[in-house]
Amino acid sequence: DTAVSQTPKYLVTQMGNDKSIKCEQNLGHDTMYWYKQDSKKFLKIMFSYNNKELIINETVPNRFSPKSPDKAHLNLHINSLELGDSAVYFCASSHPPRSRETQYFGPGTRLLVL
């Protein structure tokens, strides 16, 4: 009964490929997020959806496209993968976005682009 789950856990792929990462939460939260953690462990928010509506879209290449089919799922599709996309991608969820809400994180997807 994992609260926030991501698949796959590891992803190794070639430059130029298109790949997707999936995230699901069973906490009943309305809001989901994608974060990128770089090689220096710095975490930065990429996107957030609230009730399937995009509410945060940070400066991210348009090769990255989030999709939220329902409140419990937020997937991340990446087109034309580049070496610099190698990172750990974390999904998170929370109750409706307010500044004091705790975000609950998934285990991360380690993406390596060769």
Q: Would you tell me which residues interact with another protein (CB under 8 A)?
A: 4, 31, 40-45, 48, 56, 90, 92, 94, 97-108
Least distance (Å) from another protein to the CB of residue 15? 27
Calpha distance 9→106 (Å, rounded): 10
- Quick check: 81 and 20 in contact, CB under 8 A? no
Identity of the residue, 82 or 101, whose beta carbon is nearer to another protein in the bound complex: 101
In terms of Cβ atoms closer than 10 Å to its own Cβ (0-12, 13-18, 19+), residue 99 is exposed
Q: How far is the CB of 108 from another protein (least distance, A)?
A: 6
Q: Which residue, 81 or 91, has its beta carbon nearer to another protein? A: 91
Taking the least distance from each CB to another protein, the nearer of 14 and 42 is: 42
Rounded CA-CA distance 89/4 in Å is: 13
